[in-house]
Amino acid sequence: MARILLIFAHPALEKSRVQKELLQKIPGLPGISFHDLYETYPDFLIDVNQEKQLLLKHDLILFQFPFYWYSAPAIIKQWMELVLEHGWAYGKDGKALAGKGWMNIISCGGSKEAYQLNGRNHRTIHEYLYPFEQTARLCSMEYWPPFVVHGTHRLDSTDIRLYASQYEQLLLGLEADRISLEERTGCIYMNDLIPLPTSIQS
């Protein structure tokens, strides 16, 4: 069984339809720990030692956030700058996180088509997330494909519930260690491993 740390950040959760629904579907299992950065650190004064201890206790680190301005909310950048210290997370003697998994769970307003080379945003989601991938590599972690909910502004309540159920099934599969290396390296998004009904795949 995998021990999962879900690090969540949303500066305006009360305005979110998608992220609130995803949160409600997080399974209440002993192997899944939920950690809300804005709730824990409303003053941005991050307890570095506490964060390090949380990381050490888990195998897979999930970062869940809305995709703001092609990146993550500010507190995640702050967290990375403070917690992932040289000599601990990376560098010659920095091997504390070696072998752990890193995965992003994001929601974004743009459609999947908008995140293509010939789309409105001119780059793929993977390209915009490359700083996270390189950070994981620098820390000797395994970077996994993201779970992405596209087109959030156009989703109705039924669609959102379906994505949330898909996310729940993904977490259950991750916690039970049922997703193989071949499966996760062979997909674009982790969503691909748990298909949605045809009505909202387009």
Determine what percent of the chain is predicted with pLDDT higher than 70: 97
Tokens representing 199 are 């009505």
Determine what percent of the chain is predicted with pLDDT higher than 90: 83
Residues 63-67 have a mean pLDDT of: 96
pLDDT tens column, 146-193: 999 999 989 999 999 999 999 999 999 999 999 999 999 899 999 999
Query: Which amino acid belongs to residue 100?
Result: K
Residue among 187, 149, 143, 144 nearest 166 (CA): 149
Rounded to 5 degrees, what are φ and ψ at 186? -95, 0
Q: What is the pLDDT of residue 202?
A: 45
Architecture of the domain made up of 4-200: 3-Layer(aba) Sandwich (3.40)
pLDDT tens column, 54-64: 999 999 999 99
